[in-house]
Structure 1
């Protein structure tokens, strides 16, 4: 579990277009909210380009697909942001 001065944090990892839009590969943020709250915070931090990617992205939480955007994220989790991939 990741914590800073007793506060739980999340590690957010960006892939492909999400990485390009965020301008970073990874960042650590305060934990304690839902996926909707997290994506809202990420959009504020990084702007409309990332917000657009987030609206189409899939998310893994500790390697498991996360579909309930209102459920609290577990403390110390790693959240992977996976934009739609092209190809075949």
Structure 2
């Protein structure tokens, strides 16, 4: 399993702070599953979000995610 943590708009769209999903699949497959599970609002967040895998920017959405990994979903933040 791996942990997906949602921040800001991703948390609002998913209705949760985090959840567990099956590891060994690429990020794009995990995101497709989560989009189906939580609806189109989360899919729209994914389109603009950045993703960290164990604290490192994910550059290859087709690379398999290892068991025990943590994926952070970071939508664009506004601030000043």
Paired residue for 2:60? 68
Comparing both structures, which one devotes a greater share of its residues to strand?
1
Paired positions, count:
80
1:35 to 24, 27, 44: 27
Deviating beyond 6 angstroms after TM superposition, the runs of 4 or more aligned structure 1 residues are none
Shift of residue 78, structure 1, vs aligned partner: 0.5
TM-score with structure 1 setting the length: 0.87
Paired residue for 2:46? 54
Q: Which runs of 5+ in 2 are unaligned?
A: none
Cα RMSD for the two superposed structures: 0.7
Paired residue for 2:18? 26
Q: Which runs of 5+ in 1 are unaligned?
A: 1-8
Distance in 1 (CA, whole Å) between partners of 2:45 and 2:63 is 21
Which protein shows a greater Rg? 1
TM-score with structure 2 setting the length: 0.96
Shift of residue 67, structure 1, vs aligned partner: 1.4
